[in-house]
Structure 1
Amino acid sequence: MGQKESMLERYGKAVAGKKTRWVTILVWVALVMVLNLLFPQANSQTVENAPNLGDNRPSVKAEALAKEQFPNESGVPALIVLHREGGMQDQDLVKLGKVTEHFTKNPLPNQTLIPPLHQLPPPALKQQLSEDGSTIVVPVFFEKTATVDELKESIEVFEKKTSEIIGSDVFEASVTSADALSARVTGPVGIQIDATGLFESADVTLLIATVLLVLVLLLLIYRSPILALIPLVGVGFAYGVISPLLGWFGEEGWITFDSQSISIMTVLLFGAGTDYCLFLVARFRQDLKVQENRFMALRHAISGATGAVAMSGFTVVVSLLALLLAEYGSYQRFAIPFSLSIFIMMIASITLVPALLAVFGRASFFPFVPRTPEMQRERARKKGKPEPKPKQENRMGLAIGSLVTKRPWTVTLVTVILLGAMATFATQVKINFDTLSSFPEDIPSREGFTLIGQQFSEGELAPVNVMIDTEGKTVDLKSALAGLDYVSKVGDPAKGATDANIQAYSVEFKMNPYSNEAMDRLPDLRAAVEKTLGDAGIPDAADNVFIGGQTAEQLDTKEATEGDTARIIPVVVVLIALILVAYLRSIVAMLYLMGTVLLSYFSALGIGWIIIHYGMGADFIQGSIPLYVFVFLVALGEDYNIFMISSIWEKRRRMPLLQAIKEGVAQTGGVITSAGLILAGTFAVLASLPIQVLVHFGLITAIGVLLDTFIVRPFLVPALTTLLGRRAFWPGEYKPVKELGKRSF
């Protein structure tokens, strides 16, 4: 151990010595400047529409067949929903005709087609209205190659000119207004624009809110303006390296990421990054109270904290990299940005932050400067004040440490029962894969979709595309499908462009095509199609059926994410277990540390469901949330376990185990509590955003962090360590330190 400490102390001198501190800072400054001059920022390289499903998925195969046999030259539609409560007026239809006439003569950028409604006679135009005459849907088609920014610019031009022609801002008018014509843009283009806009605005909001939150919490916890800024400076430099690196990777096509990845990466960077800084800061503050030379104190702090910080960061990096094993593209796109941000922040925490602390020294903690007892007495003597009495610190931590070592069974049973009871609610969690349902209710694309569902048929927005290979036989599939009780409309068959035996049918469901109910109907629909083909004498009917569309894509998404969850969770558990065994050299400690974090995860999921379902009234959470929360909570939860157990493992070499546990809890209690509050707070910022999937993710993750901070780390883990005694170190070597009159292992 002495050799290891000596090596780490030499490392501390190399990065934060009297001269080397300036070298470290200059290296970071130069690195940030060079990278930002050479490479673009990550935000400029986001790809919002990267495919999430592999070519082997049924919906992807169906989409490929549709492009081959039924090429849609019209492009991607934006559905313009015009609505007037009480019924559309004749003048509304006249103005609508002028709108289509204008954009027929003056197409928008990337526009391929707009129906020439101005050429229809009034009776024919009125037939396009909903049954109550209040609503009409006009598709505007755009090139499939158009980017989101290009589509957004075109729609903005469309909205401005349409409002001029109609004579009022119909896109701002309320859809429930009794005397105003309203318009909303929905469909694939509208949903795509709104989704991108939400995440782009969330990125800026997250960055500002997270910085302010971390700054305020640091000021409240440490009451030092300099110390509050040091972790933020470290995070800022880390971000200055991460962003151009990701921009470079994206520019070269090595990785793909979207704005959602960058948004959550920002939260992770500030939350976890500040935690790593605080682990070192807390150790430095303790050492300044016993070591007069600040450089010696800092080297000792680096020696004591670097191992735990490095192992904690390595645990998170490895866990996040496990997302590369996912089939679902969105999971894969999260892996590199997340793991890279933690890796760079970990390096900054053990290089740049120590150098900054070496520059400011004790002044980092101004006005509450930590001093040795001798320094305090000398300071009092110079001011002519009486000698200060020694203060007992960490009284709360010592009290908790005494409780868990004196009543370990009671603490263990109470915490396990409490967490277990909350975990039972995790079995009630319901998930869905409806992207639109995560949008705010008043966002244009969702309001337009709601109007279509109310006035026409929800299935009209995203019909199921059923294609069959008839092999030259006569198949009356339309009649068979129209007879299904969950189908509202079946279109006439279309023949393939190069193979007349391929037929396609547009099938509209009676329910929301994005719902779980619609997805559950697809196997029945496929079975009905296969039966019809079989009755027509077509062998191997299953190979002749292709089902595409949004509902089919969501079903494949569900199956892919369920497969990813079943594959990645065991991998993460095994990887973290191996890291714990390698670091602690104890299989027993690994088992109960992993067990506590898993219990915390299911408890967080259960409490989150209670709040989301019973408190917020939501019926589902997004299907990706359980896996994301698991990866984050298990990895970040082990961070706190590693930091505290490292303290206990270190102390038990020179004192009885019970005393080591008590003092380990006391020593790490303050910093872990501070770090947990900051990490939970940064994730809770997500709950303030207008995107339901981020609200649910941020809420559940924040709950899990708080459970780890206030229940698992201070109570359950040390209580289990007390109960296991020397067995907690098996098969590692444990040499008990005896102290007269006290229990020892």
Structure 2
Amino acid sequence: MKAIESVSRAVTGKRGRWVTLAVWILLVAVLSVVWPPVNAVEDNNAANLESTAPSVVADTVAEREFGNGADVPALVVWKRSGGLSEDDLGKLKALTQALTEAPLQDQTGIIPLYQLPDPVLLSQLSEDKSSFVLPILFDPEADADRLKENVEALKAKVKEIFGENPFETPIDETDALSARVTGPVGISIDATALFSNADVTLLIATVLLVMVILLLIYRSPILALIPIAAVGFAYGVTSPLLGLLAEQGIIIVDAQAIAIMTVLLFGAGTDYCLFLISHFRHVLTEEEDKRTALVKAFKGSSGAIAMSGFTVVIALLVLLLAKYGAYQRFAVPFSLSILVMGFASLTLVPALLAIFGRASFYPFVPRTPEMEAERARRKGKQPRARKQRSEGIGALVIKRPWTIMLATLILLGGLAGFSTQLKYTFDLLSSFPSDMESREGFTVIGEQFSAGSLAPVKVMVDTEGKANDLKERLESLPYIAKVGEPQQGKENKQIQAYEVEFSMNPYSMEAMDHIPDLREAAEQALLAAGITDPSDQVWISGQTAMQYDTEVIGDRDAMVVIPVVILLIALLLLLYLRSLVATIYLIGTVVLSFFSALGLGWIILHYGFGVEAIQGAIPLYAFVFLVALGEDYNIFMVSRIWQKSKTMPLKQAIKEGVNETSSVITSAGIILAGTFAVLATLPMQVLIQFGTVTALGVLLDTFIVRPLLVPSITAILGRSAFWPGRRDFSADQAKSKPSM
């Protein structure tokens, strides 16, 4: 406690507060000059799968044996509802000739339509002759920004040859030529654009939201600016630190991670600030000297703030154990931002409060009764009578703990039951807005051609030179629309490859589930040909195969990350509270809240908005955030109950602890839920779903778990809630003794 008091006096002293502010200003200024901001070193083309993943190994085999196996295709979809004219086809030939003679910067291949006889070209049109798909291959090393430059150059060339810009023509406009870029290149460009725009949009929307909520709750403009300033300084330090780590190749950051990091920083960071501010405001009504009040507030809240922040940091770092790249890329940015924000909450915020003092709360300045009386005397008025604190929710909890516990368990359990109905998808395209270019192009392909032609898979086998019936086996499968002729490997002539198109959306879960079936069919064909152990002689590449591997690795990561997060948070709670019983029910309530949030999210997204499936990564992301952030509120409230139980009966400690933390946790919960809800305003289903589920989880923690379920369990358990820790229960015993 002496160390805490020393820190508080150092950062709030007459010189210390200004020195603290100057250090933060200098730190942000210097780091911003010497190291790049994190936005400048984004890598939105980083691989999510390890090099040992089956689909990645297959891509390597495809590139080695078949040349263009690893090239990335852009599918340019052309459509004229009345049918493509001879002039359209002639201009398409001219376009491919121009791109053959003068390729785009990263172009690696294009079908030379100008060399094809007219009957062959006409056979490639859709059945009603209204649509045509032109594949253009690009270097797989080109990132989304470079691919975008290539596509912009392509569109300029099209405008030059066609004399119009069909990419701007509405896709359903009658008898007008339209064009759209889809396929892996188009999807990559659109996904990057969505997340890039989200970064700026989120920052503006989040700042405005936090400002408005703080003004509505505290009605003080200065107070509203203090958390915003603290978060701004924290971001100013975090950004160049992450920029340095990314520049040195230690970590990889992408636009999605930066966007969500911004939300997390504002939401959780503001919460930590409010934990101190609310306590400071309360102590100012009892202590006349503002610095003494601030030191007391710091001592009373710093432990909970540090513990809450450390819990979140540890939980987010566990994502480093994941094998899926996107999970790993979240770990360091998120944990580092919270760590820096924790330091800002314990140094910069106290310094700012010390500088502004009671004026921080203007015009509703908190004063002691003596100060109020003196102020009224100077104005010649009677001092205002203080409002009696209502019994609040704490009194209800200790009066009817069993009723409240059972009611909340039934409610949360009922919502959690809906989480068993969740359906998942790994189809990134379905999360795009319906009017986005790559999705419009895919819709045309699905309507006019086989949907599987958007992203065929390549089935490769090492035949050892033996004849086999693999092509016939693949063609007999009911979910396969087309099987290409066998191709022979360049280096290993015994390797054969077949381009296989599904009869369904190749990005769908249904198609993904057939990847093991394709592998089994290939192995059975090799077994029938006399190969005894074909398991390592079959490779399947393509987007569907990659998504299948993503699902498998995602399931593995969930099995690893979730137990480790629970274990580490449990250990931290045990060390902080020194109570095994409290640790168990605090962890249990937050886990229950997580499943309830998933269930409630599914009710809203599925039954309310018609969402057929949520993105497969949502549960793991939501779990890490909700369990870590949910424990913040439990820690803050329970630590207050623990402190008060030293000097008063436990039931009284519960009542006062709940009531004293009620307003600040409610405010913090609304702000945190609001910042995550901002994600739901963006035109990206993965962000909408993540924002919705996380915001709902925070609200459940704020209004049900923290004020009702946790204190009611504590009241029912009584002294056992502290086991095996020791408490002096003499106050309880004295109260229970009959008076003489």
Letter in 2 for 1:46: E
Q: Distance in 2 between matches of 1:293 and 1:304?
A: 17
Name the counterpart of 1:505: 498
Q: Secondary structure at the match of 1:9?
A: helix
> Is residue 425–residue 616 contact of structure 2 (8 Å, CA) maintained in 1?
yes
Q: CA RMSD in A?
A: 1.6
Pairwise CA distance, 1:567? 1.1
> Is residue 686–residue 694 contact of structure 1 (8 Å, CA) maintained in 2?
yes
Q: Distance in 2 between matches of 1:490 and 1:161?
A: 33
Bigger shift: residues 189-198 or 680-689: 189-198
Pairwise CA distance, 1:741? 9.0
Name the counterpart of 1:179: 175
> Aligned pair 1:577/2:577, yes or no?
no
> Aligned pair 1:682/2:675, yes or no?
yes
> Is residue 457–residue 543 contact of structure 2 (8 Å, CA) maintained in 1?
yes
Q: Secondary structure at the match of 1:367?
A: coil
5+ residue gaps, structure 1, are none
Structure-2 change in CA distance of 1:73 and 1:675 (3 Å):
closer
> Is residue 60–residue 70 contact of structure 2 (8 Å, CA) maintained in 1?
no
1:642 counterpart (612, 635, 638): 635
Letter in 1 for 2:532: P
Q: Distance in 2 between matches of 1:408 and 1:743?
A: 19
Q: Secondary structure at the match of 1:266?
A: helix
Q: Deviations over 1:665-690 (max 9, x none)?
A: 11000000000000000000000000
Structure-2 change in CA distance of 1:234 and 1:129 (3 Å):
same
Letter in 2 for 1:157: A
Stretches of 4+ moved more than 6 A in 1? none
Bigger shift: residues 467-476 or 355-364: 467-476
1:559 counterpart (533, 552, 556): 552
Q: Deviations over 1:276-314 (max 9, x none)?
A: 000000011011111111111111111011000000000
Q: Distance in 2 between matches of 1:405 and 1:163?
A: 74
> Is residue 62–residue 70 contact of structure 2 (8 Å, CA) maintained in 1?
no
Letter in 1 for 2:282: Q
Trace 1:447-596 onto structure 2 (pairs within 5 A). 447-596=440-589
Q: Distance in 2 between matches of 1:452 and 1:744?
A: 82
Q: What is the TM-score when the length of structure 1 is the normalising length?
A: 0.97
Pairwise CA distance, 1:571? 0.6
5+ residue gaps, structure 2, are none
Name the counterpart of 1:300: 296
Q: Distance in 1 between matches of 2:261 and 2:591?
A: 23
Q: Deviations over 1:91-111 (max 9, x none)?
A: 222232333333334432222
1:112 counterpart (108, 111, 114): 108
2:339 counterpart (340, 343, 352): 343
Trace 1:578-657 onto structure 2 (pairs within 5 A). 578-657=571-650
Name the counterpart of 1:659: 652
Pairwise CA distance, 1:585? 0.3
> Is residue 425–residue 509 contact of structure 2 (8 Å, CA) maintained in 1?
yes
Letter in 2 for 1:347: F
> Is residue 656–residue 744 contact of structure 1 (8 Å, CA) maintained in 2?
no
Pairwise CA distance, 1:657? 0.8
Q: Distance in 1 between matches of 2:24 and 2:204?
A: 23
Q: Deviations over 1:585-621 (max 9, x none)?
A: 0000001111111111110000000011111101110
1:727 counterpart (715, 720, 729): 720
Letter in 2 for 1:294: K
> Aligned pair 1:222/2:218, yes or no?
yes
Structure-2 change in CA distance of 1:215 and 1:628 (3 Å):
same
Trace 1:37-48 onto structure 2 (pairs within 5 A). 37-48=33-44
Q: Distance in 2 between matches of 1:506 and 1:47?
A: 31
Structure-2 change in CA distance of 1:72 and 1:348 (3 Å):
same
Q: Distance in 2 between matches of 1:609 and 1:300?
A: 44
Q: Distance in 2 between matches of 1:194 and 1:296?
A: 55
Pairwise CA distance, 1:513? 1.0
Q: Distance in 2 between matches of 1:564 and 1:100?
A: 45
Structure-2 change in CA distance of 1:107 and 1:59 (3 Å):
closer
Trace 1:225-236 onto structure 2 (pairs within 5 A). 225-236=221-232
Q: Secondary structure at the match of 1:738?
A: helix
> Is residue 650–residue 732 contact of structure 2 (8 Å, CA) maintained in 1?
no
> Is residue 470–residue 521 contact of structure 2 (8 Å, CA) maintained in 1?
no
Name the counterpart of 1:78: 74
Q: Secondary structure at the match of 1:240?
A: helix
> Is residue 432–residue 439 contact of structure 2 (8 Å, CA) maintained in 1?
yes
Q: Secondary structure at the match of 1:646?
A: helix
> Aligned pair 1:706/2:702, yes or no?
no
Letter in 2 for 1:462: A
Letter in 2 for 1:128: Q
Bigger shift: residues 52-61 or 722-731: 52-61
Identity across the alignment (%): 61
Structure-2 change in CA distance of 1:622 and 1:348 (3 Å):
same
> Aligned pair 1:429/2:422, yes or no?
yes
Q: Distance in 1 between matches of 2:457 and 2:512?
A: 11
> Aligned pair 1:90/2:118, yes or no?
no
Q: Secondary structure at the match of 1:540?
A: coil
Letter in 1 for 2:167: F
> Is residue 74–residue 112 contact of structure 1 (8 Å, CA) maintained in 2?
no
2:439 counterpart (418, 441, 446): 446
Q: Distance in 1 between matches of 2:209 and 2:331?
A: 26
Q: Distance in 2 between matches of 1:440 and 1:332?
A: 27
Letter in 2 for 1:30: L
Pairwise CA distance, 1:160? 2.9
Pairwise CA distance, 1:73? 8.3
> Aligned pair 1:671/2:664, yes or no?
yes
Name the counterpart of 2:143: 147
Letter in 1 for 2:211: L
Q: Distance in 1 between matches of 2:278 and 2:349?
A: 13
> Is residue 74–residue 141 contact of structure 1 (8 Å, CA) maintained in 2?
no
> Is residue 738–residue 744 contact of structure 1 (8 Å, CA) maintained in 2?
no
Q: Distance in 1 between matches of 2:641 and 2:733?
A: 20
Pairwise CA distance, 1:744? 9.3
Q: Distance in 2 between matches of 1:333 and 1:700?
A: 21
Name the counterpart of 2:166: 170
> Aligned pair 1:273/2:269, yes or no?
yes
Pairwise CA distance, 1:516? 0.9
Q: Deviations over 1:654-673 (max 9, x none)?
A: 11111111110110000000
2:11 counterpart (15, 22, 44): 15
Pairwise CA distance, 1:362? 0.4
Q: What is the TM-score when the length of structure 2 is the normalising length?
A: 0.98
Letter in 2 for 1:542: S
Structure-2 change in CA distance of 1:709 and 1:23 (3 Å):
same
Structure-2 change in CA distance of 1:44 and 1:646 (3 Å):
same
Structure-2 change in CA distance of 1:737 and 1:168 (3 Å):
farther
Pairwise CA distance, 1:121? 4.3
Q: Distance in 2 between matches of 1:618 and 1:739?
A: 53
Q: Deviations over 1:400-447 (max 9, x none)?
A: 111000100011011100111111000001111111111111111111
Name the counterpart of 1:102: 98
Bigger shift: residues 149-158 or 66-75: 66-75
Count of residue correspondences: 738
> Is residue 215–residue 221 contact of structure 2 (8 Å, CA) maintained in 1?
yes
Structure-2 change in CA distance of 1:743 and 1:121 (3 Å):
farther
Q: Distance in 2 between matches of 1:461 and 1:739?
A: 72
1:360 counterpart (346, 351, 356): 356
> Is residue 634–residue 706 contact of structure 2 (8 Å, CA) maintained in 1?
yes
Q: Distance in 1 between matches of 2:110 and 2:456?
A: 20
Q: Secondary structure at the match of 1:140?
A: strand
Q: Distance in 2 between matches of 1:350 and 1:88?
A: 68
Q: Distance in 2 between matches of 1:569 and 1:297?
A: 41
Q: Distance in 2 between matches of 1:60 and 1:108?
A: 26
